[in-house]
Chains A and B, each alone.
Chain A
Amino acid sequence: MQDNRKWVIIGLFTLIGVIFLVRLFMIQVMSDDFKRKAEAISVKTIVDYPHRGIILDRNGKELVVNAPVYDLMVIPKQVAFTDTLAFCKLIGIELEDFRKTWNKVCAYAMEKPSIFLNQISRDELHRFQDQLIAYPGFYINSRTVRHYPHHNVAHALGYIGEVSASALERDSTGYYRAGDYVGISGVEAAYEKELRGQKGVRHIWVDNWGREKGAFKEGAFDTVAVAGKNLVSSLDLELQKFAEELMVNKKGAVVAIEPSTGEILAMVSAPTYDPNLLTGKEASRNFGKLLLNENKPLFNRAVRAAYPPGSTFKTVQALIGMQENVINAQTVFACNKALVKCHYHPTTDLQHSIQHSCNPYYYQVFRRIVYQNKLTQRDSTFEAAKDQENYREGFTIWKRYLDGFNLGRKTNVDLVSEVSASIPSLSLYDNRYGEGNWKFSNIYSLGIGQGEVLTTPLQLANMAATLANRGYFYTPHLVKSIGEEKSIHPEYTKKHKVPVDAKHFDLIVAGMRDAYRAGTVWSQAVNPDLEICGKTGTAQNPHGEDHSVFIAFAPKDNPKIAIAVYVENAGFGGSWAAPVAALAIEKYLKRETSKRFEWLKSHVINKRFILEPAPEPILSDSSSVPQKEEKPQPSPKKADTARIVLKEEKNLERSEK
């Protein structure tokens, strides 16, 4: 009996021991759950953000740098206020705002740091840094933001911002986390991988109070942050600035390319904005303003606007005609204004048709191309005209040439937002009119770069470069070297030949030389020293006054720069686009504006095609001299800056109403 009870007790003791061992086996050996939980609790992962690569212009001037900004941090629990009002005065905020922020950070976490005031400038910081020590719980944390020392090149460089939710979803590599900064447009986006570098990760032990206690597993899982690569842009900051200045208060685009390399020297989309507006604490507010501005300053017209090329297109038409052997240097057409209207000039041969931009001439050229009126021994237009219903084949051949010139197709410039614009295809007309139901009369305006032909300013600049090179081009690009190793994407060193023989170019180039010297270009914009070869265009469009277009390169032999200029709703190509191009070419070739062009320069700068004030101004640059706005009329007064005092501009607007 006694023994029985003894064994019950021994059994009870042993049972409990066995239960413990089984339970311990379950949580210690059979499951990894607690191992993972332990690491989740005591190992903190710290991401080290590398330095984002900076961007220099082709001459080594800084386009984008990283500037330090300072955040005022607070750990609410450590704060002991004596005089709230004095604190507000010190850091320069209103008591009301202080209360709001204070309540917000307290609601977030009492023991953890929160940002109390973000992106304090260095000057502001210097003002109160020393006195901050009197306020426990507050401290300064520094980080960097993108900064543009020059206030230019907004569109080509683009901007960075917090990665969007949709971009996070698309990121298959899992590199980004919410809150990371990522290039959103321009070079910043196109070269995101190169610029961002590689984030580093450190795993460290943290104790129960959040204090760091050394590396997890001696840093076995840590990676070192790799700094982003610096880029050297092909842009010439001086030229870019100058071109932006010329385009102030205008809508349009300027793209300049070095023909021998395809390097983009300048890319202006007007109106532009100060890229610094999209960094720093006002970024999202400024972005909203820019987005709502009716002149669409965020829209990069250089690569996203599809304009009719207008008469600049005639250069390519002439080349195609010669290559297809439907015209030659001697081909003469009467300036028959019954076909298509024209300006007053003598009857022309091919070279002079470029010089005078004869519309009826190119009506005929295009007609011959599509109808395949091949030249025989003796010019037999009449005979060839018999089989004129075979335009489908001719049209297809014509389009293939334009593909060769990369018109109506993406150039694959290193910008993510480029559009292709368009050159119409047979199917477009088949769909519109029904197969067999459309004739040359439906498409003749393509011959003079109107109608359904649409190209971007970049494509036209590339066309100008092709003309300059007499038959080839390099894909235009904004970055000429990446990182220390000075590499470049291989596609940008590949020579693209157009399907027109080099021998045909000389005639067109000569025509362009004449067009500039003694053709359609306004005489004020002519400087014979520059050896500019150009072609004007006056692009009809549904948005109002014609766009003023000009393509050019210079000098004639061994060209250094090719350029395309669009000034929206400004009328004749010769009167606004050509002066802009001529001034820019001179600036690039001579590095200064000649006496002869001084007047032209201020005339162009002071011309406004946008009547209301340009988007939020660019006035943070202290070096700029505020310039009194001139009435939009030719004036020889000196005007060497595009910076305009907004206030005066507003006054002007009021007085105009």
Chain B
Amino acid sequence: MKNKTHHTIGEGADSIAILIYFVLVIVGWVSIFASVYDPSQPWFSFSLNYTKQLIWIGTSIVIIILILSFDYRNYETFAYASYALMIFLLLVVMFVGREINGARSWLDFGPIRLQPSEFAKFITALALAKFLVSPEAKPELLRTKVIAGLILLLPVLMILLQNDTGSALVFGTFVVVLYRERVLPEWLLFAGLLMSILFILGLGMKPQSIFYFLVIPILIIAVLVILYIKEKKPLVILAVLGLSVLLIGYIYSTKYIFESFLAPHQQERILVLLNEDIDPQGRGTRYNLFHSKVAIGSGGLWGKGFLNGTQTKLNYVPAQSTDFIFCTIGEEHGWLGSLLVIGLYLSLMIRLLFLAERQRDKFVRIYGYSVASIIFFHFAINISMTIGLFPVVGIPLPFLSYGGSSLWSFTILLFIFLKLDAHRGQQMERK
């Protein structure tokens, strides 16, 4: 039986992941419908987002069939070639791209607009996986780390040049993959985490509190460490003291770093998170965040009911069928609706990690981790921004947000992995 060739498309593909995918897509479509539907307008029109999303969903199914029909080996074979093509398209878009919301990242094909940076994610993931499985890429070598870094940084740089900060940020999620594959040492991850936390605290706290709650504890810890270590060599003591002084210096320079490296509008987006009182009714930066929080917060436990959202339906929430689609769920379906959606995402991501871990082929595992991380990053940043835990960054919620490029790219991203996973029995072991 094992040698029987596959006749059915998608046989062996993970049904749990596929099921969650379709549930999320349907939840997304219903939410888009709810946020766009206006009883005073005809409910069917090709110009409405929910009608268009139906087309995107339909075409996504075609894409799924295509992906599942291709030979699974092609994805690895053409990884570098696709990467090169992608870099070329990112270059092209910088010159002939269409500017939307300040980002020159769209290619216009008549009625359809595509965003090459959306597709850069899975192609980069494939390229990175292909590189890391190559025999010469030993994770502990510096050369490996540098090349892996370059593979990631090249698209990031080009996307940043298109002024699409949100999409560029997404590539930060590959840290998770690199961590899993031991390209990044453990301490670096925790050091990065510590630096981020200190940065936020340094920015948000008053100078006096910084002194009492950060500077003094750091000095105490330094003293304790010196007392604890057995070999009290002068050099070690000096190193510990030097490190703590560096940390304190870093804390006090956060404001300077913040102001000199971020554009004013970016600074504002961060500051509104730290200060609740900035201009609640105004039309400034605070506006989006405020109305988004009000919409979700007014949903209560059960929500206001399907099509009964007010803040979303009355257009107080911006971009409510795309980046702020979660507001409609939070407002109309309340905390329980949110619980369902967040539960679906967690299930999908953990299922993907499980699928990745069962691969014999390292290539598929690395790609699987990339898929899970990319979905996680979008999920984490998008919902954080709608509930005021992260600055407003324009990135979509996977499978839910309205938009062809976004739905297509996540579908391709996911189903390439599911296709690869379906053939795990045929793959050679590569570790």
B293 close to A (CB within 8 Å): yes
Q: Tell whether A28 pairs with B338 under 8 Å between CB atoms, given A13-B376, A35-B298, A38-B298.
A: yes
A42 touches B311 (CB 8 A): yes
Partner of A5, one of B179, B330, B380: B179
Minimum C-beta distance from B178 to chain A (A): 11
Q: Tell whether A205 pairs with B335 under 8 Å between CB atoms, given A20-B342, A20-B387, A27-B387.
A: no
Q: Tell whether A9 pairs with B179 under 8 Å between CB atoms, given A31-B297, A35-B298, A37-B294.
A: yes
A28 touches B330 (CB 8 A): yes
Q: Tell whether A28 pairs with B314 under 8 Å between CB atoms, given A5-B180, A6-B180.
A: no
A122 close to B (CB within 8 Å): no
Partner of A17, one of B179, B335, B345: B345
Q: Which residues from B are CB-within-8-Å of A14?
A: 346, 350
B300 touches A35 (CB 8 A): yes
B293 touches A209 (CB 8 A): no
B310 close to A (CB within 8 Å): yes
B357 close to A (CB within 8 Å): yes
Partner of A42, one of B293, B316, B330: B316
A393 close to B (CB within 8 Å): no
Q: Which residues from B are CB-within-8-Å of A12?
A: 176
Minimum C-beta distance from A645 to chain B (A): 57
A21 close to B (CB within 8 Å): yes
Q: Which residues from B are CB-within-8-Å of A6?
A: 180, 353, 357
B293 touches A27 (CB 8 A): yes
Q: Which residues from A are CB-within-8-Å of B330?
A: 24, 28
Total A-B Cβ pairs within 8 A: 106
Q: Which residues from A are CB-within-8-Å of B380?
A: 16
Chain A residues 33-63 with CB under 8 Å of chain B are 33-35, 37-39, 41-42
A207 close to B (CB within 8 Å): yes
B267 close to A (CB within 8 Å): no
Chain A residues 7-26 with CB under 8 Å of chain B are 8-10, 12-14, 16-17, 19-21, 23-25
Q: Would you give the 0/1 interface string for B342-385, flagging 1 where the beta carbon is closer than 8 Å to chain A?
A: 11011001100100010000000000010010001001100110
A34 touches B294 (CB 8 A): yes
A42 touches B301 (CB 8 A): no
Chain A residues 82-96 with CB under 8 Å of chain B are none
Minimum C-beta distance from A13 to chain B (A): 5
A28 touches B335 (CB 8 A): yes
A9 touches B353 (CB 8 A): yes
B296 touches A24 (CB 8 A): yes
Q: Which residues from B are CB-within-8-Å of A207?
A: 314-316
**Docked complex Cα distance between A455 and B369 (Å):** 101
**Docked complex Cα distance between A14 and B339 (Å):** 13
Q: Would you give the 0/1 interface string for B317-339, flagging 1 where the beta carbon is closer than 8 Å to chain A?
A: 00000000000001000110011
**Docked complex Cα distance between A158 and B33 (Å):** 60
B350 touches A28 (CB 8 A): no
A166 close to B (CB within 8 Å): no
B180 touches A27 (CB 8 A): no
Q: Would you give the 0/1 interface string for A105-132, flagging 1 where the beta carbon is closer than 8 Å to chain B?
A: 0000000000000000000000000000
**Docked complex Cα distance between A24 and B301 (Å):** 10
Q: Which residue of A lies closest to B315 (CB)?
A: A208
**Docked complex Cα distance between A206 and B314 (Å):** 7
Q: Tell whether A9 pairs with B342 under 8 Å between CB atoms, given A35-B298, A208-B314.
A: no
Q: Which residues from A are CB-within-8-Å of B372?
A: 13
**Docked complex Cα distance between A27 and B335 (Å):** 9
A178 close to B (CB within 8 Å): no
Partner of A9, one of B180, B298, B346, B379: B180
B412 close to A (CB within 8 Å): no
B383 touches A41 (CB 8 A): no
A220 close to B (CB within 8 Å): no
The CB with the most chain B CB atoms within 10 A, among A10, A17, A19, A28, is that of A28
**Docked complex Cα distance between A8 and B310 (Å):** 40
A28 touches B315 (CB 8 A): no
**Docked complex Cα distance between A37 and B293 (Å):** 10
Q: Tell whether A17 pairs with B316 under 8 Å between CB atoms, given A24-B335, A28-B296.
A: no
A23 touches B294 (CB 8 A): no
The CB with the most chain B CB atoms within 10 A, among A8, A9, A213, is that of A9
A13 touches B294 (CB 8 A): no
Minimum C-beta distance from B151 to chain A (A): 21
Partner of A35, one of B180, B297, B342: B297
A338 close to B (CB within 8 Å): no
Chain A residues 164-215 with CB under 8 Å of chain B are 205-209, 213
A133 close to B (CB within 8 Å): no
Q: Which residues from B are CB-within-8-Å of A5?
A: 179-180, 182, 186
B148 close to A (CB within 8 Å): no
Minimum C-beta distance from A648 to chain B (A): 60
Minimum C-beta distance from A214 to chain B (A): 9
A29 touches B301 (CB 8 A): yes
**Docked complex Cα distance between A17 and B350 (Å):** 12
Minimum C-beta distance from B360 to chain A (A): 14
A10 touches B315 (CB 8 A): no
Q: Tell whether A23 pairs with B387 under 8 Å between CB atoms, given A9-B180, A28-B296, A28-B297.
A: yes
A42 touches B297 (CB 8 A): no
**Docked complex Cα distance between A13 and B176 (Å):** 11
**Docked complex Cα distance between A12 and B369 (Å):** 13
Q: Which residues from B are CB-within-8-Å of A41?
A: 281, 291, 294, 311, 316
A10 touches B350 (CB 8 A): yes
Q: Which residues from A are CB-within-8-Å of B343?
A: 17
Q: Which residues from A are CB-within-8-Å of B310?
A: 38, 42, 205
Q: Which residues from A are CB-within-8-Å of B404?
A: none
Q: Which residues from B are CB-within-8-Å of A20?
A: 338, 342, 383-384, 387
Q: Which residue of A lies closest to B369 (CB)?
A: A9
Partner of A27, one of B182, B297, B384: B297
B345 touches A25 (CB 8 A): no
**Docked complex Cα distance between A259 and B295 (Å):** 69
Q: Which residue of B lies closest to A35 (CB)?
A: B298
Q: Which residues from B are CB-within-8-Å of A209?
A: 315
**Docked complex Cα distance between A29 and B387 (Å):** 14
A28 touches B299 (CB 8 A): yes
Q: Would you give the 0/1 interface string for A587-615, flagging 1 where the beta carbon is closer than 8 Å to chain B?
A: 00000000000000000000000000000
Partner of A24, one of B176, B315, B316, B338: B338
Q: Which residues from A are CB-within-8-Å of B334?
A: 28
Minimum C-beta distance from A620 to chain B (A): 46
B393 close to A (CB within 8 Å): no
Q: Which residues from B are CB-within-8-Å of A23?
A: 387, 389
Minimum C-beta distance from B42 to chain A (A): 18
Q: Which residues from A are CB-within-8-Å of B342?
A: 17, 20-21
B314 touches A21 (CB 8 A): no
B297 touches A213 (CB 8 A): no
**Docked complex Cα distance between A206 and B376 (Å):** 37
A24 touches B294 (CB 8 A): no
B346 touches A17 (CB 8 A): yes
**Docked complex Cα distance between A12 and B177 (Å):** 13
Q: Would you give the 0/1 interface string for A539-576, flagging 1 where the beta carbon is closer than 8 Å to chain B?
A: 00000000000000000000000000000000000000
A sample of 16 cross-chain residue pairs with beta-carbon separation below 8 angstroms, ordered by A number, consists of A5-B180, A9-B180, A13-B372, A16-B380, A17-B343, A20-B338, A21-B339, A24-B330, A34-B298, A35-B298, A38-B294, A38-B298, A42-B311, A205-B310, A205-B314, A207-B315
Sample of 4 further A-B pairs with CB below 8 A, known A16-B379, A27-B293, A207-B316: A9-B353, A17-B342, A21-B335, A21-B342
* 10 tightest A-B CB contacts, nearest first: A34-B297, A38-B298, A207-B314, A27-B297, A208-B315, A28-B335, A17-B346, A35-B298, A34-B298, A37-B294
Which residues of A does B touch, CB under 8 Å?
5-6, 8-10, 12-14, 16-17, 19-21, 23-25, 27-29, 31, 33-35, 37-39, 41-42, 205-209, 213
